[in-house]
Every structure is written in C-alpha cells, then in structure tokens.
Amino acid sequence: QQQVKQSPQSLIVQKGGISIINCAYENTAFDYFPWYQQFPGKGPALLIAIRPDVSEKKEGRFTISFNKSAKQFSLHIMDSQPGDSATYFCAASMSGSEKLVFGKGTKLTVNP
C-alpha cells in the first residue's frame, strides 16, 4: 500500500518557469514532510521540509505548500533552471518514528 502518492511522474518545464509537484497522504499520524532531490548516481539530498502546523514554507526558489485538511502538500520551484533537472521525492514521517515513507518520485527536466 503506497502511503504517499506523488504526481506527476515526469515534468518538463522551460527555463524560468514554475515547476509544481504534488503529493497526497492518507495517514493523519504523519507529522513531518520533507522533499528530497536526487541527481543520477547520487543519493537523495534534503531540499526543504515542513511540519503540519504551518501552511507554507519558503527557502529561496523552493516553496512547500501544505493543506492539512486535504492531506496534500506540494513543491513549487520558481524560476526553474536547467540545474534543477533531477528526480524529486516527497516523503512523510510519523510521530515517534524515524522512518521516511517516500513517494515514487517526479523526474523534472528543465529545458534551456
């Protein structure tokens, strides 16, 4: 059973555009929602994370929007750059657990 559903599977954006990746979850015990970025041949690296007590968190060009009632959260990449081309994973973790549950990933391609 997939606990975190991520969409789209792939995304192509022009340089300077906005990339939006969405995730949905069912388990209301999740209390931590990180986004990871993975380049080919590398391990995932934390990009930005949010807890459900806030609705939005921004770090540079990256913003997480969180909708607790809808059990959805999304990553927005503003002014997308070719260097942002990577696979992005949303994840979630439950209170009292260190285990991260990952979505299936979104392969982002930013064309120059």
Partner 1 sequence: DTGVSQNPRHKITKRGQNVTFRCDPISEHNRLYWYRQTLGQGPEFLTYFQNEAQLEKSRLLSDRFSAERPKGSFSTLEIQRTEQGDSAMYLCASSLGAGKNIQYFGAGTRLSVL
Segment 12-31, which members bind partner 1 (CB under 8 A)? none
**Which amino acid type is present at position 8?**
P
Show the site string, 48-77: x = touches partner 1 by CB under 8 A, - = not. -x-x--------------------------
| Residues facing residue 18 across a β-bridge | none
Does the footprint of partner 1 cover residue 40 (CB under 8 A)?
A: no
Which residue lies nearer to partner 1 by CB, 6 or 19?
6
Give residues in contact with partner 1 (CB under 8 A). 6, 32, 36, 41-46, 49, 51, 89, 91, 93, 97-105
